[in-house]
Chain A
Amino acid sequence: MNILAEKFRDNIIAVVPITLIVIILNFTLVPLSTPFLIRFIIGSVFVIIGLSLFLVGVDLGITPLGSHTGSTLTKTNKLVIVLVAGLILGFFISIAEPGLLVFSNQVDFVTQGDISSVSILISVSIGLAIMIGLGFIRIIYNLPLYRILLVLYLIIFVLAFFTSPEFLAISFDASGATTGVLAVPFLLALSIGITKMKKDSKSSEKDSFGLVSIASTGAIIALMILGFFNRNLNFAAHIPENITESTEIIKPFTSIVTSVFNESFMSLLPLIIILFILQTVSFKLTKRAFIRILKGFIYALLGLFIFLVGVNAGFMEVGSKIGYTLALLDHKVYILLIAFLLGLFTIAAEPAVSVLTYQIEDITSGYVKKKAVLIPLSIGVGFAIMLSILKILVPSLQLWHLLLPGYIISLALMFMVPKLFVGIAFDAGGVATGPMTATFILAFTTGAANATPSANVLLDGFGMIALVALAPIITLQLLGFVFKIRSRKGGI
């Protein structure tokens, strides 16, 4: 079986459950119109095909590029070069991230222009760049991840005191927006490229993870500081509803083709530039290896494009419709339950999740298997979506009521679990908030908020991503705890 067939099989297993849930809902609680349902099924097929091609592209192109880049930088043995490269890489990867662009336009709109989208784009990219530089230093000097995260989150806590509740949600969501679908695999491979040069295998393994998590805090801190200097903001009360109940089947797909293609190409562009620059300057890859990486990029571009078309045209409206209809039901148990199930099953279809689990298997030689990571990750995200719906239904429940205890638990757990899992868990937070969450699940929660009179559509939409980023940090650290206990040798 070749790798494409293997990925197809994995992704069919990942996407079919969520499709089944929607179909079952269609015949029970949420009857969908026929074009809706057909579009959703076409969308699912697109997601499966796109995801498979994308993941092959990551294996062939993006991971080798990241890993080569990491090794090349380390081999220079000059701190300045590593640091400057980290800053440049971080800045350009972040500024080209389509998710961040969409996000900053949203914030621009929500704050009615008080915080312009350009200022967000620049400040988040600077924040990310600094943190990636810091992440590099941490790997090179063997600084323990948990201490760095502790300091960074303490800074975030302090800043949070000076941040309005509305802006708090926005800041935490920024972390999800920057760690996009291409940035995550590249960052993961980059840190692996650096750490594999280490002689000490134990520390090399645990340092392989954590760069994504450090990078995400950069975005949060940057936005909080931005919010600190722009207080007394006005917030728009409503976002324009642009959900058109189109009855056509093909048109929603074709109408977004150009914009989605541009989006996919834009996010790949910085990586292509990095490849060409480094190939001429220092890689000197053989022609075959170079062409292989290029072919990988073609797979990744094609896959991402097909995936995004499927999700945007097939999933979003259905998500919003389900959220809206379920929130109108008298029994709120239904929506909470469905929220949990949607979270539980969509996460397996998130592209970066497959990349992370693959990397974990590779680094640990199969000791920490995909299934072992996926189960707690799914449960965590399920709870996160359920809590976001609960927050919409209960107006007195605020985002920080959930975030504060959540992060205190996460930070406390760091001291108890094997350090490998600290990195994996905090990285998974950034990984879980990919395009699937940002479209399908976001549409679901906004749909629910629209049907709930007491809810603030806008802010409840923002907080969801923050919760999705938090939940896996807790559940995966708990997994680490179980592994620690279970791996002890018996009978000696």
Chain B
Amino acid sequence: MENISLLSNFEMLCIIVNYGIGSKVLKYAKEEGILGGTIILGKGTHKRPLLEFLELTETRKELVLMIAPRKIINPALDALYEKLKLAKPHHGIAFVIPVTQFLGAGKYEYEAKNEIGGHNMTEYKAIFTIVDKGSGEKVVDAATMAGAKGATIINARGSGIHETSKLFAMEIEPEKEIVLILAQKEIVKPIITSICEELDIDQPGNGIIFVQEVHQTYGIR
């Protein structure tokens, strides 16, 4: 475990594509060595006066989230950029966000030794927990016990290394829930410990947790 964390930093790759492409993105990403990913349904708009009058601006989008070491992310992103033709307009967008702490994926566990930045940071971090559908509430309960003040549950689907079955040549991606918790730096650790104990995140296949730096927060007291 230590080896991996020394060799590389973890990053989160986000790709937003039209509805129906998400599963394909995940499939390509797995071919490039990324172990799993989560897909969220969203709605996107683009600005055109006529379409706006006709109320036709909204389209369904899929947001694909994948976490992997940087040395895997970079080549994978290049490959995806080619395969998804992201250079062309309306084919989607991709971006990468750093991750400060990542656990639960069995194979690798990681915590950033030196936090980047230092100044300009708020007192808060964002804890993301991805679990099977129905377990989101347990995560919220566990986090609340450890001092979290609130949580947001996002419906999603996704698959990791344990979920790779097919149906009519379609990948089956089981339903997930993403729990987003914003918490003060000091209580991030207890919250994670509480969630880990409650849901056995250390055991493979039970979910993942990752933490990201938050630069600014509003509306939290």
Interface of A toward B, CB cutoff 8 Å: 1-4, 6, 56, 60, 199-202, 205, 292, 295-296, 361-362, 364-367, 369, 371-372, 375, 482-483, 486-492
Question: B175 to A364, Cβ gap below 8 A?
Answer: yes
Q: How far is the CB of A482 from chain B (nearest CB, A)?
A: 6
* Cα distance, A32 to B57, chains bound together (Å): 43
Indicate whether B204 reaches chain A with its CB closer than 8 angstroms. yes
Question: B22 to A366, Cβ gap below 8 A?
Answer: yes
Question: A201 to B172, Cβ gap below 8 A?
Answer: no
Question: A366 to B39, Cβ gap below 8 A?
Answer: yes
Question: A60 to B55, Cβ gap below 8 A?
Answer: yes
Chain A, Cβ-Cβ closest to B46: A2
* Cα distance, A269 to B37, chains bound together (Å): 45
Give the number of residues in B that approach A within 8 Å (Cβ atoms): 43
Tell me whether A56 and B136 are in contact in the complex, defined as CB-CB below 8 angstroms, given that A2-B51, A366-B62 are known contacts: no
* Cα distance, A369 to B20, chains bound together (Å): 9
Tell me the residues in window 167-218 of chain B with beta carbons closer than 8 Å to chain A beta carbons. Answer: 167-168, 170, 172-177, 203-205
Question: A202 to B22, Cβ gap below 8 A?
Answer: no
- Can you list 15 pairs linking A and B with CB atoms under 8 Å apart? A1-B18, A2-B56, A6-B59, A201-B136, A201-B155, A205-B175, A361-B41, A365-B156, A366-B19, A366-B39, A367-B157, A367-B174, A490-B163, A490-B165, A491-B161
Question: A3 to B172, Cβ gap below 8 A?
Answer: no
Question: A1 to B137, Cβ gap below 8 A?
Answer: no
Interface centre among A361, A488, A489 (most CB of B within 10 A): A489
Indicate whether B80 reaches chain A with its CB closer than 8 angstroms. no
Interface centre among B23, B41, B176, B203 (most CB of A within 10 A): B41
Indicate whether B126 reaches chain A with its CB closer than 8 angstroms. no
Contacts of A492 on B, CB cut-off 8 Å?
162, 203-205
Q: How far is the CB of A48 from chain B (nearest CB, A)?
A: 17
- The A interface, classified by DSSP as helix, strand, loop or mixed, is helix
Tell me whether A487 and B162 are in contact in the complex, defined as CB-CB below 8 angstroms, given that A364-B157, A365-B41, A366-B157 are known contacts: no
Which residue of B22, B39, B177 contacts A201 across the interface (Cβ within 8 Å)? B177
Question: A365 to B167, Cβ gap below 8 A?
Answer: no
Q: How far is the CB of B46 from chain A (nearest CB, A)?
A: 8
Indicate whether B123 reaches chain A with its CB closer than 8 angstroms. no
Tell me whether A1 and B59 are in contact in the complex, defined as CB-CB below 8 angstroms, given that A201-B134, A366-B39, A491-B161 are known contacts: yes
Contacts of A364 on B, CB cut-off 8 Å?
157, 175
* Cα distance, A491 to B163, chains bound together (Å): 9
* Cα distance, A482 to B168, chains bound together (Å): 11
Question: B162 to A367, Cβ gap below 8 A?
Answer: no
Q: How far is the CB of B48 from chain A (nearest CB, A)?
A: 8
Question: B168 to A375, Cβ gap below 8 A?
Answer: yes
Indicate whether B166 reaches chain A with its CB closer than 8 angstroms. yes
* Cα distance, A119 to B118, chains bound together (Å): 77
Question: A2 to B167, Cβ gap below 8 A?
Answer: no
Contacts of A3 on B, CB cut-off 8 Å?
56, 58-60
Question: A205 to B56, Cβ gap below 8 A?
Answer: no
Which residue of B157, B164, B176 contacts A490 across the interface (Cβ within 8 Å)? B164
* Cα distance, A60 to B177, chains bound together (Å): 27
Which residue of B60, B133, B165 contacts A486 across the interface (Cβ within 8 Å)? B165
Question: B167 to A4, Cβ gap below 8 A?
Answer: no
Indicate whether B88 reaches chain A with its CB closer than 8 angstroms. no
Question: A295 to B90, Cβ gap below 8 A?
Answer: no
Q: How far is the CB of B112 from chain A (nearest CB, A)?
A: 28
Question: B153 to A487, Cβ gap below 8 A?
Answer: no
Indicate whether B93 reaches chain A with its CB closer than 8 angstroms. no
Contacts of B133 on A, CB cut-off 8 Å?
201-202, 205
Chain A, Cβ-Cβ closest to B204: A492
Q: How far is the CB of B19 from chain A (nearest CB, A)?
A: 8
15 additional A-B residue pairs with CB within 8 Å, beyond A295-B55, A489-B163, A491-B162: A199-B137, A200-B134, A201-B133, A201-B137, A202-B134, A205-B175, A365-B41, A366-B19, A367-B172, A367-B174, A372-B170, A482-B167, A486-B167, A487-B174, A489-B205
Contacts of B175 on A, CB cut-off 8 Å?
205, 364-365, 367
Q: How far is the CB of B134 from chain A (nearest CB, A)?
A: 4
* Cα distance, A40 to B151, chains bound together (Å): 56
Question: A483 to B167, Cβ gap below 8 A?
Answer: yes
Which residue of B51, B60, B137 contacts A200 across the interface (Cβ within 8 Å)? B137
* Cα distance, A487 to B163, chains bound together (Å): 7
* Cα distance, A6 to B21, chains bound together (Å): 13
Contacts of B168 on A, CB cut-off 8 Å?
371-372, 375
Question: A487 to B165, Cβ gap below 8 A?
Answer: yes
Contacts of B58 on A, CB cut-off 8 Å?
3
Which residue of A296, A372, A489 contacts B167 across the interface (Cβ within 8 Å)? A372
Contacts of A362 on B, CB cut-off 8 Å?
41
Contacts of B62 on A, CB cut-off 8 Å?
366
Q: How far is the CB of B138 from chain A (nearest CB, A)?
A: 11
Question: B155 to A365, Cβ gap below 8 A?
Answer: yes
Contacts of A4 on B, CB cut-off 8 Å?
54, 56
Q: How far is the CB of B140 from chain A (nearest CB, A)?
A: 9
Q: How far is the CB of A2 from chain B (nearest CB, A)?
A: 4
* Cα distance, A365 to B164, chains bound together (Å): 18
Q: How far is the CB of B104 from chain A (nearest CB, A)?
A: 13
Contacts of A6 on B, CB cut-off 8 Å?
59
Interface centre among A202, A366, A375 (most CB of B within 10 A): A366
